[in-house]
Structure 1
Amino acid sequence: MAETTWQVVADELRHLYAGPTAEQFALADTLMIPLAADTPTPVTAALLRAQLTKPLRLREYPGIDDPEYDYLASVAAETSLRIPAIEEIGSRNLLDAWLEVAWARRTVHHLERLQPEVGDVAVTVRRRKPDEDRYGQISSISLTGQLNFRGGLGRRAWPHTVKRLVKMGDGDHGELLTKAREEAVAEDRHPERVSNRELALLDTWKVPRRPSLADCQAFQEALDKATAERPMQVVLENHPALLANVIAGHHGIWVRSQVRLGDRYVPDFLIASQTSEGLRWHLVELESPTARLTNVGDHRESPTLRHAIDQIQDWREWLKTNLLSARAALPGITVDARGLIIMGREDVTDSAREIRDRRDANDRISIRTYDWLLRAAMKAETTLPGLLDTETGDLSRDW
């Protein structure tokens, strides 16, 4: 379990060294064992257990050695905790109880020193590179007192290891927050391996079937009339199977429209597909069906196509600096998510084969026409889904 308020965690830890519980006092009276009112709860439990070891045939704990006691003494000294002499402790069971108390007091001391809040950035020392700082944005606080960092994957730190805590109102919070997010992303070696809980975030947009005749007819009618991008956006929002059909995803495909990336960007569609290798995303930009892919005179990329390519590159740049927050709504998305541009009609005077091949190979951006999308949908009953993957060679191993 985890909390978002450090005072709650500190109060829970204080109970460990506040003295015996009422139940412990009652048991001690029954066994006629004297208990001091300031005996920490874990220590009391160890003392009671020691009294019951032989009658209940419990496992006996071995004695302790000097290095073990020295470690306890060093932790206890950090908060001026008075501990018994090594001879009085005797068994490892009692040593462990005193360690639990010493850790709790140290943790409470540093929680009070730092007063950490969700959103603060903690600066700690790297385990294997003590000369380098490590950054983490606090997402919650475990009941043990550990500070949990955004990004998961076991990213956390004990309060006593924090060199500096940067509050959200501090001047350099933004700079260090960026570093924390970059580190979280860098440490995630397999972002495509998302959990069932993360997948559940996409349930609303899951596409359960292939395109139907009704999907194809609605798309054809919109395409015949459209002179701008908007009608095509609407028909694809109403018939998402048309887009889902061109991506391979044996374990599920999801289509989301008009997803906001920060305050500046809104991709027309995002497609997620899951294979045995995990989740992958496509960034989809629509342009008008009347737009040309190439210039009439020189057959280079038209201004409309150039704009569409720039859009996808802008989205990727945004993801580079906001990837961790983006994954909260788009689990598993990466900065190099494949791009898909759909624009124009098939036209022998508008051949863009060389441009498409180059963009596919160099930029992972596929450029296709609306006629291509309709043709893929009309063949849905006779071909496997994933035409785009087949054409680009971007197939998962389970295909």
Structure 2
Amino acid sequence: MKIMSAAQACAELLARDPLRDFFSFWDEVNESDIDALREALDTAKREEDIQQFFQADPKYLIQHLGGGHGRWIIPKQRLGVQHVTDFMIGERDSMGFRWQAVELESPLAKMFTKSGNPSAHLTHAVRQIQDWRMWLAANQNYAAHDRDQDGLGLTDIHSDVQGLILMGRRATESDETRRLRRQMGRDAKIEIHTFDYLLEALIGRVNSLKARREMTGR
């Protein structure tokens, strides 16, 4: 009986994966990637700047995910004729697929006004995810069907898909706006984070990989 290596087994699985064009290896990151992401966030002036950075190298969007059976990154996923996500990212574990609908705003955008009200940018981002959920509620079967069956291929997706809003930087937050952000996220059932969330996840991944290599001697 022929025994396949892990790489061969992965290649065989990918060959049968209808979303193989969007599959991403999540453990091919190092210290230089930390520098690249930090520089991109520090120099971005508009939402479009960071959008283009992630589209060129989307692995930075999945370092916070934990599913051990794969990661997928779909840019500009269209939901019907009216809606387009910035990214749809997915992971798979023993329970199946889990998806996050990602809405990006500018790293310079503020989440709240001085009076503590949600900013126009944050309100817009929350509404986007709510609109996507309403569309999925009416079109869940179509969205979950395989692409070779004329669906979107978003296996196991459901109408209360987790939303992820990324905007602003942590340095501009106060304790009060951080509290407001977390409360608003709980109320809307949406993950709302500054872009430093991605940076911290990447640093954690790189450090974890480094520790693993030191333990195994590889």
For the criterion TM > 0.5, the same-fold answer is yes
Return the alpha-carbon distance in structure 1 between the equivalents of residues 104 and 130 of structure 2.
14
Return the alpha-carbon distance in structure 2 between the equivalents of residues 268 and 350 of structure 1.
29
Change (3 A) 1:369 1:257: same
Counterpart contact for 1:285–1:341, Cα < 8 Å: yes
Residue of structure 1 in register with 2:9 after alignment = none
User: Identity across aligned pairs (percent)?
Assistant: 36
TM-score by length of 2: 0.78
What SS does the aligned partner of 2:26 have?
coil
What SS does the aligned partner of 1:270 have?
strand
1:205 equivalenced with 2:30 (yes/no): no
Which one of the candidate residues 157, 163, 171 is aligned to 1:339? 163
Which one of the candidate residues 38, 47, 62 is aligned to 1:229? 47
Change (3 A) 1:232 1:275: same
1:355 maps to amino acid: L
Return the alpha-carbon distance in structure 2 between the equivalents of residues 340 and 271 of structure 1.
10
Return the alpha-carbon distance in structure 1 between the equivalents of residues 71 and 26 of structure 2.
9
Q: How does 1:261-272 map to 2 (within 5 A)?
A: 261-272=79-90
2:21 maps to amino acid: T
Question: Cα deviation per residue 1:235-293 (whole Å; 9 max; x = unaligned)?
Answer: 11222221111111111111111111111111001111111111111010000111001
Which one of the candidate residues 135, 141, 145 is aligned to 1:324? 141
1:257 equivalenced with 2:82 (yes/no): no
Residue of structure 2 in register with 1:357 after alignment = 182
Cα distance, 1:331 vs structure 2: 1.8
1:219 equivalenced with 2:37 (yes/no): yes
Cα distance, 1:351 vs structure 2: 4.4
Change (3 A) 1:376 1:317: same
> Which consecutive unaligned segments of at least 5 residues does structure 1 have?
1-195, 385-399
Return the alpha-carbon distance in structure 2 between the equivalents of residues 251 and 226 of structure 1.
33
What SS does the aligned partner of 2:103 have?
strand
Which one of the candidate residues 98, 107, 110 is aligned to 1:280? 98
1:290 equivalenced with 2:108 (yes/no): yes
Residue of structure 1 in register with 2:194 after alignment = 369
Return the alpha-carbon distance in structure 2 between the equivalents of residues 254 and 235 of structure 1.
17
Return the alpha-carbon distance in structure 1 between the equivalents of residues 185 and 196 of structure 2.
19
TM-score by length of 1: 0.44
Cα distance, 1:383 vs structure 2: 4.4
RMSD of aligned C-alpha atoms? 2.1
**Which one has the largest radius of gyration?**
1
Residue of structure 2 in register with 1:379 after alignment = 204
Return the alpha-carbon distance in structure 1 between the equivalents of residues 135 and 160 of structure 2.
11
Return the alpha-carbon distance in structure 2 between the equivalents of residues 213 and 239 of structure 1.
15
Return the alpha-carbon distance in structure 1 between the equivalents of residues 103 and 177 of structure 2.
17
Counterpart contact for 1:253–1:271, Cα < 8 Å: yes
Question: Cα deviation per residue 1:296-339 (whole Å; 9 max; x = unaligned)?
Answer: 2x122111101100000000011111112212222211101100
Counterpart contact for 1:340–1:366, Cα < 8 Å: yes
1:234 maps to amino acid: Q
Question: Cα deviation per residue 1:82-138 (whole Å; 9 max; x = unaligned)?
Answer: xxxxxxxxxxxxxxxxxxxxxxxxxxxxxxxxxxxxxxxxxxxxxxxxxxxxxxxxx
Cα distance, 1:208 vs structure 2: 1.2
Return the alpha-carbon distance in structure 1 between the equivalents of residues 178 and 87 of structure 2.
24
1:283 maps to amino acid: A
Q: What is the aligned residue count? A: 187
